[in-house]
Amino acid sequence: MEIDYSPAVKQALEAGVPVVALESTIISHGFPYPKNIELAAKMEEIILAEGAVPATIAIIKGRIKCGLTEDELELLATSDDVLKCSVRDLPVAVGGGKTGATTVASTSYIAELAGIRVFATGGIGGVHRAEEGGGGFDVSADLLELSRSNVVVVAAGAKSILDLPATLEVLESYSVPVIGYKTDTFPAFHSISSGLPVPASVSNMEELSQIACMHFKLGLPSGMLVCNPIPAEYAMDNAEVDALVEKARQAAVDAGAKGAAITPYILGALNRLSNGKTSEVNMALALNNGKIAAQLAVHLLSQLEKD
């Protein structure tokens, strides 16, 4: 598959400089403009500051891009004609010359093809709650892709709009290692903890990179999920989030939002209902994931070279 690399990403991959993949759905469908472009720029800065090179992935007019120009980021942030592309949408987007933002699933898929081992996002998709407004029967392709793309994904867990116990069960069935970074519970995106235990946790970067290194050395076909909770100073109380989520879910039912449109709809409703607070929190956790992913990419590369 042909991928268009930006000069910076191409150079980094050739020279063996650590690279961190970034998704673009968070830009096109996760934040309002101009917060989204602010996030995209800050995410790149924070990764560069840690000594890694950011590679934002998207489909631009039918071309798979790994590393974007400012104009391309601006297009993704402002156009209302950007498809939300999971893996199954790639043939339609690429074949049809369309512009699409990549989800955790499709970004992981492309990152592996590009030889990028670490990917930072906000939160992963998961198993939706079965009741109305939860999406009905709806399981994100992010989970399936985590089982078959050989990439370490750093995320602040998943949002409490999802069924988190079921999400963890599916990750177990799919043999995806789930590692808590400085936590022994699964983070709930806006909140530090869902209260659900994770199967393993590490207390520092050295340990994390050793485990990630072992994942690749064992040749496991799956990805690995690193759960990095939101920093305490930005975190929201579980009760505050739960109350907002209930209202946002009702708004989604009233608006008839379904399928792939559910998550973006609920994110927008949470932002409105909280007067922008959830977007601020979302920004803080995404940047923190960028930072940890960059540190991991740097450590992992030297670890892999050592062994």
CA separation for the pair 103, 34 (Å, rounded): 20
Q: Tell me: does residue 281 bind ligand PSU (CB under 6 A).
A: no
Judged by CB under 5 A, the stretch of 87-95, 130-138, 150-158, 193-201 that binds Mn ion is 130-138
Is 182 considered catalytic here?
no
Q: Which of 20, 55, 66, 104 binds ligand PSU (CB under 6 A)?
A: 104
Please identify which residue in 18, 54, 100, 122 interacts with ligand PSU, judged by CB under 6 A: 122
Residue 141 assigned ligand-binding role:
yes
What is the identity of the amino acid at 130?
Answer: A
Applying CB under 6 A, the span of 90-98, 196-204, 259-267, 293-301 interacting with ligand PSU comes to 259-267
- In whole angstroms, how close is the CB of 48 to ligand PSU at the nearest point? 22
Q: Tell whether residue 140 is among the known ligand binding residues.
A: yes
Question: Count of CB atoms within 10 A of residue 26's CB?
Answer: 28
Give whole-number Cα distances, 55 to 1, 6, 116, 134, in Å: 17, 8, 9, 32
Dihedral in degrees, nearest 10, Cα atoms 36, 75, 102, 43: -40
User: Do 112 and 149 touch, CB atoms closer than 8 A?
Assistant: yes
274 marked among binding-site residues: no
**Which does residue 6 bind out of Mn ion, ligand PSU, none, counting CB within 5 to 8 angstroms by kind?**
none
The packing angle between helices 277-306 and 262-273, to 10°, is 120
134 is a site residue for ligand PSU (CB under 6 A) = no
Residues 136-155 that bind Mn ion (CB under 5 A): 138
Tell me how far CA of residue 246 lies from CA of 12, 161, 216, 269, in angstroms: 45, 8, 40, 11
Q: Residue 86: which of ligand PSU, Mn ion, none does it interact with, CB under 5 to 8 A by kind?
A: ligand PSU
Helices (H), 67-163: 70-78, 90-95, 104-114, 141-146
Catalytic site includes residue 258: no
Residues in 23-52 at the binding interface with ligand PSU, rule: CB under 6 A: 23, 25-26, 29-30
- CA atoms of 223 and 226, how far apart (whole Å): 10
Residues in the chain: 307
Q: Which residues are catalytic?
A: 23, 159
State the binding site: 84, 104, 138, 140-142
Q: Which residues bind Mn ion (CB under 5 A)?
A: 138
Q: Which residues bind ligand PSU (CB under 6 A)?
A: 23, 25-26, 29-30, 86, 103-104, 122-123, 125, 140-142, 159, 260, 263, 267
